[in-house]
Each structure stands twice: as C-alpha cells, then as structure tokens.
Amino acid sequence: MKTLLSLFCLVTYLTCALSANGWPVSLDMACNKALSAVACSFEFTNNANEDLYLLKRNTPLEGLRSQFVSVSLDGHPLQYEGIIMYSLPPTKDEFVLLKAGESISASVQITDAFSIDTDGLYTVQYSRPLQYLSVNEMSAMSLDQLRESVVRKSVHIHLEDTSLLLKPKEEGDAEIEYTVHLEACGSATFKNGDVNNSQTLDAHKRLCSGCGKAKDGVGNNNVYRTWFGAYTSSRANTVKGVYQDIRDDITSKNCIYYNNGPLCRSNSYAYTYMTGTTVYLCTIYYRDPTYCSKTGESKEGTLLHEWSHPYGQRDDVVYGRSNCKNLAKSKPDDAVRNADTYLYYYCDLQ
C-alpha cells in the first residue's frame, strides 16, 4: 500500500513524506468538556516535502460553517443542527499556506451544532476529506485540480452532567416584516427588510409545483443519469422521496426568508440550518435571475438547494454543474445525497 501511495505522489508531481494515515495532510484532534460546552481542537500537518495550500472551507479553520464532524452516542448518530453555507467556488483567500512540516490548528465548540443532553460515551469523528493545492497549482489557480487527503480520525469522550451544556441555536433574530399565505403552498415570511422580496416570493411559489415535476421526471432517462448517475430503483426512490419531502414541508411549514443573514460572506449565496425553517439570503443571491436556468444560477434554484438541507436532509458534497456531473459518473451514491445535484436536476425539468 505504501508503495502505491508513493507512486500516486510521483504521478501527481507531489513528493510525499507519507503520514501515518498514508496522506500528505494529516489531522490530530482532541475533545474536552469546558464549563457549559464541549470544545474540540484540530491540528492539520503538512507531511509532504513541499509547501501546500490547504483549503479552509469545510474545515474548523473557517469556524463551524459546515458539517466536518459527526457525533454519536453509544453508536447512535446525533442530528447535525449547524449551518450549511452555499457559496461560490473558493478563491485564493480561502486557502492557507502550510509549509512542509508545518502545522496549523483551530478549535470549535461542537455543542453549537449538536444537542448533547444524555450522559454517556460519545464518539466525535472527522467526516470530510481535506482539500489542497500545490504552490504551482495555486499560482495557476487550478481550482479544478483540488486534491484530497482522506481523513479517518475519531476520538471518544465520556460526558456527564450533560443537562448543563448549551444547546445549538440559530443566529439573527429580527422582527417579522410580513407573512404571505399561499394557496396550496404554505406560507412565506420575510425578515430584515425588503431586498427583492417580491422576486424571492415568485421563486418560492414555483417550488411546490416544481418539486412535483422533478419527482414525476425521475426514471431511467438521460436527465436523471446526467445528475444522479447509473439508474437503480433504490436510488431513484430516494430521489423521489427527497422532492416529496421538500414539497410536503414547504406546504405545511412557515418558510422564513431572512435578508442579509448575519453570517453571510461576500462569496455566499445563502445558508440555512439543518433543523431550521429559515433560509438566510446573501449578496450574490440577489444578483441572480428569479427563475430556473439550464446554464446559470437562479433564485429559484438557490431556494431549492437550501430547502433540500433541512427538508430533504441533503448534504453538500460538491458544487457547480461540472462537478455535479462528474460526481454522478463516479459516485452516484454521493450524487443522491448532494444538494446541488437536486438543484440542477430540478431546473432542467422546469
């Protein structure tokens, strides 16, 4: 195995000093209870013989803005209740230079994203690959050549008096501006002013019928295979179920749209919480056309993407049309759990 990994490094022009887990970037982590929170620290080390640029997105280096750890109690997984941020492809300022042999560390409070309220033995497992570029690739900004360093690291921590721990909460309280009740499609509430609210409402109105079209279009056809990969009845039923769940929840729940969310960044479309009923809209979202496009982004598509998180329990695996198509070809199971895939399939059927 070690010989094969060395060959991989040579072929990809990366001379590696292999870490214990066999990859150029390794991770050490530890978790401790401190007062009313559980904090975990993460240290990333460059084990290669050359400098690397490590992507901070989807890691603790950017804070708790995505699910990069899973938590379980006695083998039973806990629901992630944290933020899921939908952003443009990464730019240079989202990378950190990690020189050969150097380490960088960060810590987060996992109680900000997981409800820990039962005493017992918890397992915290890092659940995302680390992405990086060589110095030459960064100079050329070859973001489509992002490499991945697989991480399989977990720690166990026995917790007592968990009733004293803080619980996750959403940010951004604001007064309700107004609520619109829609025939056969629930209601939409707007908070924090009026920023193209009428366009957001127009996009929202289409989601109920649009999810129905997307569900009815699932089958062994070119559009399905483009976005979800090789057809199987099991995966197809999952896809149908996701669109049905999104439609059901949009119809039955009061969907809240919060303008200029407090955690928005300059490259963010929107974000939501995995257990919430609010979509926080950001600057880029307002620039897009209202209705679905088969070539670009749209408000309707972004809203579908966002509601697929809390209502469809979908994750962010990859972003963008090209990456989603490649994911369908190589990893159809991952395509079925990827939020952006549901966006593009949905828009192709409208």
> What DSSP letter does each residue of 284-332 carry, written as one string?
HHHHS-SS--SSS--HHHHHHHHHTTTTT--B-S--SHHHHHHHHHH-H
The Cβ of residue 138 has, within 10 Å, a number of other Cβ atoms equal to 17
The first and second tokens of residue 239, run together, are 């896809």
Residue 143 confidence (pLDDT): 67
The Cβ of residue 54 has, within 10 Å, a number of other Cβ atoms equal to 20
* Digitized pLDDT (tens) for each residue of the chain, 350 residues in all: 333 333 333 333 333 334 444 589 999 999 999 889 999 999 999 999 999 999 999 999 999 999 999 999 999 999 999 999 999 888 888 999 999 999 999 999 999 999 999 999 999 999 999 999 999 888 887 666 788 888 889 999 999 999 999 999 887 678 888 999 998 899 999 999 999 999 999 999 999 999 999 999 999 999 999 999 999 999 999 999 999 999 999 999 999 999 999 999 999 999 999 999 999 999 999 999 999 999 999 999 999 999 999 999 999 998 999 999 999 999 999 999 999 999 999 999 99
What single-letter amino acid sits at 289?
P
CA-to-CA distance for 108 and 3, rounded, in angstroms?
Answer: 36
The first and second tokens of residue 221, run together, are 């056809």
CA-to-CA distance for 159 and 174, rounded, in angstroms?
Answer: 35
Residue 1 confidence (pLDDT): 36
Rg, the chain, Cα only: 21
The candidate with the shortest Cα–Cα distance to 260, out of 200, 209, 324, is 200
pLDDT in tens, 178-209: 999 998 899 999 999 999 999 999 999 999 99
Per-residue burial over 301-338, b if 16 or more Cβ lie within 10 Å, else e, is: bbbbbbbbbbbbebbbbbbebebbbebbeeebeebbbb
The first and second tokens of residue 47, run together, are 């084990």
CA-to-CA distance for 255 and 293, rounded, in angstroms?
Answer: 23
SS (H, E, C) 94-141: HEEEECCCCEEEEEEEHHHCCCCCCCEEEEEEECCCEEEEEHHHHHCC
H or E stretch at 257: strand 254-259
Strands 147-149 and 76-77: unpaired
pTM across the whole model: 0.88
β-bridge partners, 26: 45
pLDDT in tens, 79-105: 999 999 999 888 888 999 999 999 999
